[in-house]
Amino acid sequence: ELLSRQRRAWIIDTFSIEEENPGPFPYELGKINVDRIYRIHFDLFGEGADEEPKGVLSIHKETGMLIVHKAVDYEKNTMLRLRFEARNSDMSIYTKLGLEITIKDINDNPPRFQRDLYEIKVAEDESQLAYDRDMRGTPNSTFHYEIKSVFPNHPDTEFFVNESGAISFKGCLDHEVAEMFTVLVEAKDHGEAVSLSSSTTVVIHVQDGNNHLPVISGQTGSGKVKERESGTSPLRLHVTDKDSKNSSAWRAKYSIQGDEGEYFRIDTNPETNDGILTVVKPLDFEEAAQRQLSITVENEIPYFSCKVKDRTTSGLWKVDTSTSDGPVAGQPHTINVLIEVEDTNDPPVFNMTVKEAMLEENVPTGTWVEKVTAVDPDSPAGWLKVDPHTGDITTVRTPDRESPHVVNGLYTNPPKTGTATLNIHVTDQNDNVPRPTVDVMEFCISDRPTTKNITASDLDGTPFGAPFSFELLGDFEGKWTLNPSYEKGVVEYQPHLYADEEDLDTLSELENITVPDDDSFQKVLNELGPEFRQLAAICKPPHIQN
């Protein structure tokens, strides 16, 4: 009957293909077994059949046998996913089923380093970062590192590599012994049939560290400096250092101890590494004839040394290291230097640079004004006195031959001078009489009182000058009046004016103030002529007629 179907069973084996199988091709991979009593037709579709990688697999249409036609690369396809169809005799689809074929990895890729050559400039661990393109988690993808060779091979240095590819060393590195190490590193996998490997070269450049301290080997220069001079260099220190020239481990750095007044500075010559001592502030022989200094030299970077004590069979070796922080080892080199200060002729020094003095004017010649005092630093003991008029030298104290101020020598320096300022303030005295501003005053006389200001001046200053007091002299009753506040008067006749200063010590001056009378006024009008009479009428007295 068309609707009735018999029970069917599909028995599908697990299939796998080994990558890069050399053949010969084609070969039978396996058969799909079907429990059936009727004839079935098979078709195959998917990866390896009609999809990439095409042409790897096919199926026998009547028997269901899977056939391999060419090799497969595991690194491209780890599995082939297919489907097959079973058809009835009338070619109608009886059923469909998926099929997966595993590609077996073989050890065909050695572990690879990212680079063929590694270069490092410091003695540090360096991870080579090796990796394997085989399947992770299988024996083929596990590998180990091994150092195959080291050049040069030094007894105080042993390189090793750990499982992660980090290179380190036991012992000590010494730039002076070996500036560079060439290490050949191999990475080898754990393939079951065959082990594959690759190698890389690691070049380790040992940068020079400060394992040699600078040593002051000598000095040049007079070690003497003249007092009151600066900018001179009395001393130059020379050093030796076994580290690489012009490196921070070779460049010297100097410091000065015992220079409380900061009179000196020491600089490093970048070419020779010499220390140049320079006077930056003038020295004084009278303060100290000698200066004791301590000069220390070290490098720009800290000192470090390493020495192998025990080469143990396991773990790191035992080494001794010392740094500049240690109590004994690595201490910087220090020397004492003596700088002699040469005496020169010092100028005399006044006890004060500016002094004030008061002096009254009009004092007689030879009056004492003030006294200024100067001392000569070149005679600090104060034993001698020189007469400036005769040149005689006499002692003022008991001399002592053992005194530090006694110096055997010939002084040929030119004479020196010192300066100070004396400000003399001349005080004023009342030695000038007041004087009217004008000697003659002219009034226009009319029938009303006529006023005029009277002024005076005095060369003396306060309190010997203005304000002034005025006084009328002569027969002035009924003719002159003087208002002290406004200093004016009404003039009818020729008077005498007397002006004096309002001061206890009063000086006065008698002056004639001339005022024309009636007759002289008429005489002036006659001389001027008729053309000036109109002008004269303005000022004439009422009793004068034309």
How does pLDDT run across 416-454, given as a tens digit for each residue? 666 777 676 677 777 778 878 787 777 676 666 777 777
Residues paired with residue 30 on neighbouring β-strands, in sequence order: 66
- Per CATH, the architecture of 430-515 is what? Sandwich (2.60)
Q: What CATH number should be reported for the domain whose range is 215-342?
A: 2.60.40.60
Distance CA 175, CA 206 (A): 6
pLDDT at 2: 34
Model pLDDT, residue 112: 82
Looking at the chain, the whole-number percentage of residues with pLDDT higher than 90 is: 16
Q: Which of 197, 105, 194 is nearest to 143 (CA)?
A: 197
Q: Round to whole Å and give the CA distance between 189 and 143.
A: 4
The model carries a pTM of 0.47
Give the whole-angstrom CA distance, residue 142 versus residue 138.
7
The Cα–Cα gap between 438 and 542 comes to 28
Distances (CA, A) of 152 to 104, 157, 182, 270, 472: 45, 10, 7, 34, 129
Distance CA 142, CA 135 (A): 9
Q: Which positions of the chain have pLDDT values less than 50?
A: 1-9, 11, 123-138, 140, 325-328, 409-411, 485-506, 511-517, 531-546
Tell me which residue of 46, 49, 17 sits closest to 30, measured CA to CA.
17
Domain 117-205, CATH homologous superfamily name and number? Cadherins (2.60.40.60)
Residues 240, 273: contact at Cβ < 8 Å?
Answer: no
Reference 61, options 37, 31, 36, 38; nearest CA is 31
Helices (H) and strands (E) in the chain, counts: 2, 37
Q: Alpha carbon of 268 to those of 131, 211, 231, 271, 453: distances in Å? A: 52, 20, 16, 9, 87
pLDDT digits (tens, 9 = 90+) for 333-369: 999 999 999 887 767 777 777 878 777 777 788 788 7
Looking at residue 232, its pLDDT comes to 92
CATH 2.60.40.60 region(s) of the chain? 9-104, 117-205, 215-342, 430-515
**Helix (H/G/I), strand (E/B), else coil: 475:** coil
Q: Are 323 and 287 in contact (CB under 8 A)?
A: no
What CATH fold (topology level) applies to the domain 9-104? Answer: Immunoglobulin-like (2.60.40)
